[in-house]
Chain A
Amino acid sequence: MQSAMALSFSQTSFTRPNHVLGSSGSVFSTPRSLRFCGLRREAFGFSTSNQLAIRSNRIQFLSRKSFQVSASASSNGNGAPPKSFDYDLIIIGAGVGGHGAALHAVEKGLKTAIIEGDVVGGTCVNRGCVPSKALLAVSGRMRELQNEHHMKSFGLQVSAAGYDRQGVADHANNLATKIRNNLTNSMKAIGVDILTGFGSVLGPQKVKYGKDNIITAKDIIIATGSVPFVPKGIEVDGKTVITSDHALKLESVPEWIAIVGSGYIGLEFSDVYTALGSEVTFIEALDQLMPGFDPEISKLAQRVLINPRKIDYHTGVFASKITPARDGKPVLIELIDAKTKEPKDTLEVDAALIATGRAPFTNGLGLENVNVVTQRGFIPVDERMRVIDGKGTLVPNLYCIGDANGKLMLAHAASAQGISVVEQVSGRDHVLNHLSIPAACFTHPEISMVGLTEPQAKEKGEKEGFKVSVVKTSFKANTKALAENEGEGIAKMIYRPDNGEILGVHIFGLHAADLIHEASNAIALGTRIQDIKLAVHAHPTLSEVLDELFKAAKVESHATTRTVSEKVVV
């Protein structure tokens, strides 16, 4: 046995010289314990897919080398100015999408400028994901401290937990400021020019910002994002009828707040408000709460996040008219039936939060100068984020990413789209797989998902003629979740039993938002279940929920050795 191991080790190092280069001499620093892995790899043998993997590795290596060359040529940070243009790349809008694109552009050696008419960071950092996470961090703790039953099951005693509204609001505001500064500094440090003023497109490759500054660039990215969408008939006063922009400042905690819309935003705010003592009424136009989620997940989420809390709801109704509180009268909400449009009910509450989604922010962008016609405000793009004009032809050198194109209105999707565009303009074709972009809702517990929902997958399977299977695992069986007394939750995977392709994963449970990435990476990299099920998860961790999910799946084809052998190398 000993000798066999030693032999296999030496073989490993000889048969893979290319990897020695690629992984900077890792074979020599390989811990002795990995020899056993070498033996295991030998047992699996080389397959064609294995050879392919090696080749792709080499390609990666080569491309990285060429990048290093170009980077050294532009060692003063932002790339050298080209002859005819002021910049290689101008990004209009310094939100998370623009920021992601700018950083990647500099890495690719492009001279880059970013135009911001408001504050750096955009919605996500200033009025969205970031401050809401601060509020949710508070609400999660409040909820835990107030849950006597939960505390007692730990053997903990907590006397009446309370909060200071201003303190909570400050935490959210401080976090936004901190992240905004980090974002600004990260761009300044690598030499991105941050231009202040409202930016618009003057013509091909020409941009105006501020009063009358005109600059040119080889390529332009529009990343102007979105604003809260307020349906007709709703009067927002910023005090009693508010959008997420106002709510995040937490200027008041109303006793009773109606939340119009039960998507991510509404759900997260219901979590915050109920933890801080408010009672909540959801108003949802569709027949079911949480319409965007996998039906099974939304059913369970309703059982955990809605039913036991101080929340009631009206589904299948529109809020046709909302009047802010004034003259001693409460906020009045008129509800009409979503289908028949007949008046159904009138609500009076202390406040109303409009969380009916977001509208693209594309007005005044000068799109008419390049003959682009927006669709409900969204800028039409192809799968490579290239802007399409009114006649359906591509506008050269103009791209649009993020909420403004409406493909997938998530901060990290915008950033991924930006990086994809930069890859293209720096000479490498790239198409982003939107089905591999995860989404998360940071309630307590969290909800996360990637890929298709079960009904979507079944429909696709029927159309394309493949079978769809579903497996589920419960957090109730997970040691770490039980240690935390948080056994409530499920993970669910939708997959193809014939080839092991993961079509979608949905998680509801403790730290679901952090858990989803194993699945989203697998989808992005095309990893099959039969391979990923052999991967090892530390015990006891929540990640074992996914481990069990992969292991529970029944796939007809056998494991390829690819994943395993890759592991040996690094």
Chain B
Amino acid sequence: MVPLPPRPTRPLRKAPRGSNAHFLSRSPRRERRLEELLDAEALPLSEGAEMSEQSKDGCDPNFALEASSSEVHSSPEVPGGPPLPAPEAATLAEPESPPLGPTDAPLASPPPPAPMEEGDPKALQQAAEEDRAHQAPSAAQPGPAPPAPAQLVQKAHELMWYVLVKDQKRMIIWFPDMVKDVIGSYKKWCRSILRRTSLILARVFGLHLRLTSLHTMEFSLVKALEPEELDRVALSNRMPMTGLLLMILSLIYVKGRGARESAVWNVLRILGLRPWKKHSTFGDVRKLITEEFVQQNYLKYQRVPHVEPPEYEFFWGSRASREITKMQIMEFLARVFKKDPQAWPSRYREALEEARALREADPTAHCPRSSVSED
């Protein structure tokens, strides 16, 4: 077993200058420091002993998380500059190494504070400052004994399943939820737990648990394997949902701007869907597209300004922009209308540009496979 590299020692936190920033403010320097930390730590995957070593790390007062809701440890990564009294959220940065490489993705996560959920910035700032005063003495104490490695392993497995199910249901994976629902009293060791979970997901499922937004502490499961997921669409029960969504997204895309709700319903009418009718597969279609898809960040549903009586329009949601490429939309259109994608020349050009940009951004990825295999 490879011994862990020596942990970098961290200076004890001094009170930050000017603790007025909102506790959720981002800090690029902090993120960069985290990245360095992640790169520095290799992660051999092995059983028990590894876990307990890491749990020792977890107990390190610099990274440890007290269960008490009023205490908040600051993270040493917080630079003096941008004032950030509250500790940072856990970060699992995208591993640099190829996802399936045997040398595992370096992952670490300074545990975020549970009180983030409570969300009162002021209280947190105060707590953080009080806590900093405690830091010096607490550094001397070892903290509570780490749980048996087997328990941490079990927690990691639970977390793995939790993340997989959330992703399957297209729900947001929110860090505070993870702590509340799964990690619970093992908050102190959530770093190790998260690390192990990410490893398992990468090794066994080929999925990366990535912190997509430090600000909102959202994770998502990114497929390390490409090509992307119209193949998931091809097989069964999600097809209708995805088809419906793709239809709306295509409409928006082709229009080049927001699609008015009336226009969307004109299209859906062709499929036999009406806002007032319950559909056997989709149920309440209107609720689906104006609420559920919006909640999942696939669509945005906004009021058109300055229009009376009020009208609404749809835009692509952030998640759609992340998960679905323009080329996929073109292929979808081509399939549905049985035309060549180049029948929409300007849109096709845009899609090509985007594809080129994506390739350049990530030269290791292959070109996304066009359509799904025929069945």
* A interacts with B: no
